[in-house]
Amino acid sequence: MIYEIRSYRLKPRSLAEVEQRFGEAYEHRKKYSPLAGFWHTEIGPLNEIVHMWPYADLAERARVRAEAAKDPNWPPKTADFILQMQSEIVVPFPFVPDVTPGKLGPVYELRYYTIKAGTLPDVIKRWETKIGERTKLSPLVLAGGVDLGEANRFIHIWGYTSLDQRAAVRARARETGVWPPPGGGDTLLTQANKILLPAAFSPLQ
């Protein structure tokens, strides 16, 4: 399984209209393949939507996108509102289960880490030693390396019931030594995050 994460920067004050149009068009698009999640930013770069699509592989992605492009109802009529688009293909870490619909939020945190070249296998090993303990505190939606997009980067998405719960979970994880995994501090180059809220039609709520 792979996941395509698409981030669109929008014109100010257009978010509600974009989400409405996207949701209406998705009713036609989902017969080709389902969304995993659709969010907008609450903290971080404002006026941004993030949508995540699962595919078996790149061949299925190409086939599905070609089929959907023939549908008169897709893509949604949102081009006039879009200022910037970014797409990344993420390959999940081996121990991460498939993303399934459900209520893991409604607050989601998307984190992007850039690391030194060649160090992703070490990151995966260190995560595997601790992820079982960490996910007892709050659910992991996805963690994986960016295969197509910005090189030497991995992403992880976490669900929280509120920002207060996020703060409490992160404090508890540090205090108990559950998270972050030990070591690897010298391999991290940059870190960034976004706090996301789901659209009404998102399979993840």
pTM of the model as a whole: 0.95
Number of domains comprising the chain: 1
Q: What is the pLDDT of residues 44-100, one digit of tens each?
A: 999 999 999 999 999 999 999 999 999 999 999 999 999 999 999 999 999 999 999
204 belongs to a structural domain: no
DSSP 70: T
Least confident residue range of 71-75, 114-118, 179-183: 179-183
Q: What is the CA radius of gyration of the chain?
A: 17
205 belongs to a structural domain: no
Which pLDDT belongs to residue 182?
A: 86
Cα-based torsion angle of the residue sequence 193, 169, 146, 205 in order, rounded to the nearest 10 degrees: -80
* Amino acid sitting at position 111: R
CATH code of residue 51: 3.30.70.100
CA pair distance 183, 23, nearest whole angstrom: 43
Range of the domain at 105: 2-198
